[in-house]
Amino acid sequence: MSRDNTSHSYGSVTKAFHWLTAVLVLTIIPVGLVANGMAQDIRDPSIVSTTADFTRTFYLFSLHKTLGVTIFFVALARILWAMTQPRPGLLNAHNRGEAFVARTVHWLLYGSLLLVPLTGWIDHAATTGFAPIRWPFGQSLPFVPKDAEVAATFAGLHKVFGRVLAIALFLHVAGAVKHHFVDQDATLARMLPGTAPAPTPPKQASGVLPLLGALTVWAGAIAIAILNA
């Protein structure tokens, strides 16, 4: 299998980035949910918390943040690699509605994989103490002051962008399942490890509408975060 993409198929590097990202995201989401649930229990005066509860919560938040920074750099490397590669054409490009949704979701995924961990990292950098990032860097960021309002703003953005990522991820997986079981084409197969059939994609539509659609979603997410601050 070639390292590089072609107009028909994905190369080994792109596949490795895709599945590494999938493993990291599917790990960080439950870790974050469990950590938040444990933190809420600790803050609840009606629930008696032990030292072990504090320790486990501390560890899970630290793991969540560490994975988040990892995802940020993996996503950045993935995007830089993608910029050097041809993108295999959509096999359902003739269906303009589905093609628009697919391309918009891909923009949302790429952007969210940077925005979600970055806003969480800024929230962490603006906060004093609690659950360090387990890298030899990362507790502080340039131009980010230790400030409760800054932390609260980016915590809100982190939460809303996380929901955008979750929805985009659901749509991405649902689309892959539809392609495999309903359309019965090679969309999913050509992203799996190994060599898969590489049918010739139909003529692809060009344009910036999917990117504009993703930007509109992010603008709406920012507005929601500001209104709920």
Where in the chain are the domains? 12-227
Note the CATH architecture for domain 12-227.
Up-down Bundle (1.20)
| Gap between the Cα atoms of 172 and 176, Å rounded | 6
| Gap between the Cα atoms of 226 and 92, Å rounded | 38
Helix, strand, or coil here: 153?
helix
Token pair listed for 156: 């809100």
Q: Is the pLDDT score of 1 beyond 80?
A: no
- pLDDT tens-digit profile of 194-229? 876 678 899 888 789 999 999 999 999 999 999 987
Residue count of the chain, please give it: 229
What is the pLDDT averaged over residues 41-50?
Answer: 88
Res 146: pLDDT: 94
Res 193: pLDDT: 86
Res 210: pLDDT: 95
CA-nearest of 81, 61, 79 to 158 is: 61
pLDDT mean across residues, the chain: 93
Whose tokens are 């697919």? That residue is: 102
Q: Is the pLDDT score of 145 beyond 80?
A: yes
What is the pLDDT averaged over residues 133-162?
Answer: 93
- pLDDT tens-digit profile of 109-136? 999 999 999 999 999 999 987 799 998 8
- pLDDT tens-digit profile of 25-34? 999 999 999 9
What is the pLDDT averaged over residues 84-97?
Answer: 91
Could you count the other beta carbons within 10 Å of the beta carbon of residue 174?
A: 11
| Gap between the Cα atoms of 118 and 140, Å rounded | 12
pLDDT band at 157 (very low <50, low <70, confident <90, very high): very high
